[in-house]
Structure 1
Amino acid sequence: MEKNNSYTKAFEELQQIVTEIERGEISVDELSEKVKRATELIKICKAKLTTTEEDVNTILKELEG
C-alpha cells in the first residue's frame, strides 16, 4: 500500500506543479526548482509503472503456465 500511496502522492504533486505553471503562479525564481522537482516526480511515477507492468506480466505468465 505504501508504494501505491507514494505514486499517488507524487502524481498529485506533479499535477499541482503543472497547474501552477499553466496559471503563471510560479515566479521565474521558483521555476527552476519546480521543474527539477517535477522531473523527480516523473521518475518516481515511471519507476512504479514499470514495476507494476513487470509484476502483471509475471502474474499473467504464471496463470498461462
Structure 2
Amino acid sequence: MGARQAPYGAFVGIPSPLLAISDTVPWIIIKAISTFLSFTVFRIAFCPLYLTFVPIVLILSLLSLIGS
C-alpha cells in the first residue's frame, strides 16, 4: 500500500505546476480572443449574427476580467 502511494504522490506532484499554469492560460487566451473578436466585429458591417455575437463577446471579456 505504501509502495503504491509514494509513486502516485510523486506522479500527482509533477503536474501541479502544469495545472497552475493551465488555470491561468485559458483566461489569457479568452481575453485575447474576446478582445480580437470584439474589435473585428465592430469593424465589419453589423448584421443580426454580429448583433447577437457582440454581447456574448462582451460578457466573456467581462468574465475574464473578473476571473483574472
The TM tier, using the shorter chain, reads 0.5 to 0.7
Deviations 1:22-56 (A, max 9, x none): 312553323213322330232123222xxxxxxxx
Any unmatched runs of 5+ in structure 2? 1-20
TM-score (norm 1): 0.52
TM-score (norm 2): 0.51
1:47 aligns with 2:67: yes
Identical aligned pairs, as a percentage? Answer: 4
Larger of the two Rg values belongs to structure: 2
Aligned match of 1:12 in 29, 32, 56? 32
Count, aligned residues = 48
CA distance in 1, matches of 2:66, 2:60: 10
Any unmatched runs of 5+ in structure 1? 49-65
What's the offset of the Cα at 1:8? 0.8
